[in-house]
Amino acid sequence: MNLVLGNETYLMEDVKKAFTNLIPEEERTMNLGKYDMEEVPLAKALDDAMSVPFFGDKRLVFIQNPYFLTSDTKKRKIEHDIEGFLNYLAHPEPTSIMVIFAPYKELDGRKKVSKQLKKSSLIIDNQPLNERDTRQFIAQEMENKSFEIDKNALDLFLERTNSELSIIMNELPKLFLYNFETHRITLSSVENLISKTLEQNIFDLVDVVISNNIEKSVTLYHDLILQNEEPIKINAILLGQFRLLLQVKILQDKGYSQGDLASVLKVHPYRIKLALQKVKKFNRHDLRKIYLALIDLEKTMKTTQQDQEGLFSLFMLKINQVNV
């Protein structure tokens, strides 16, 4: 029994490939089953796991999204045979390899099935890498390809990919190809090839909103509109950014560490690092006023036909007048 715990997409795909390769390619059609617990009952996967391999030595069964192992209380039409699963954990089929892919931070330790699964399984840690480990991962990729990357280029690369491994591994081939002749990745190549996401552009907007730079904030907002971004979507992301900053500030004042914040808020460690850098200059009162003003802005946007850019300008004037 194998439990892959965590939601790092890139590493999860690597794990899936490694297990899949245990079954000869010509046998996979009959001896590899994949079951999404959001769509099919657990009993179907158990029936597969208890069947003997078809013209092969091993049967491989993937179970994905096992929400019943968590504290998730959302009602669903599908009923899962938890008792049958507990029986299987006690008496697994020796010719079957079962792999549980649990894309969660943790399982609900209060549940009997979660406790038993952990006791019975080889647990594979698949949590998102912290910044240090991500840098080491990239360094290893550079060494494998005989490439070098400048420190400022690496810093910007991590920023523009949100330090998320799946994005990093999708973007690295561009940099390798672009710098094939020199085998050295520079700041300019990252600037030219790795685009900012909408969230990152809005993260820049956060800075100017906090600094009360009305002219620059309105200009950045206008630029986003010109890129065909919806005002409601921009405001929603901006609101989310300030919610995170406020949460980080509150918990930091209570003594939470960077690692604790990432765990409690269920946010990627790199985003927590950036948030901590931003909240250094501001108090809870300032962030709360902006957050509440953004909530008011969202309500107005949804209930009026007024010009959206004009409403954002009024929002900036409002927070400037209250001396945030």
Domain ranges of the chain: 2-125, 131-193, 198-321
Token representation of residue 211:
């600094």
The predicted pLDDT at position 266 comes to 81
Total H helices, total E strands in the chain = 16, 7
Q: In which band, very low, low, confident or very high, does the pLDDT at 216 lie, cut at 50, 70 and 90?
A: confident
| pLDDT of residue 199 exceeding 70 | yes
CATH, domain 198-321, list 2.40.160.40, 1.20.272.10, 3.60.20.10, 3.40.50.300: 1.20.272.10
Which of these CATH numbers, 3.40.50, 1.10.8, 1.10.3470, 3.30.2320, describes 131-193? 1.10.8
CA angle 112, 78, 100 (to 5 degrees): 50
Give buried/exposed letters for 139-158 (b at 16+ CB in 10 A, else e): eeebeeeebbbbeebbebbb
Tell me the average pLDDT across 161-166: 90
Query: Domain spanning 2-125 has what CATH number?
Result: 3.40.50.300
The predicted pLDDT at position 205 comes to 86
Query: What CA–CA distances, in Å, run from 14 to 142, 218, 225?
Result: 19, 44, 39
**Mean pLDDT, residues 184-211:** 88
Give me the mean pLDDT over the 80-91 stretch: 96
Q: Tell me which of 207 and 293 has the higher pLDDT.
A: 293
For residue 197 the two structure tokens come to: 């996401």
Please give the DSSP secondary-structure letter assigned to residue 24: -
Band (321; pLDDT cuts 50, 70, 90): low
Which residues have C-beta within 8 Å of that of residue 33, sequence separation ≥ 6? 45, 48, 49, 59, 60, 61, 62
Distance CA 232, CA 238 (A): 10
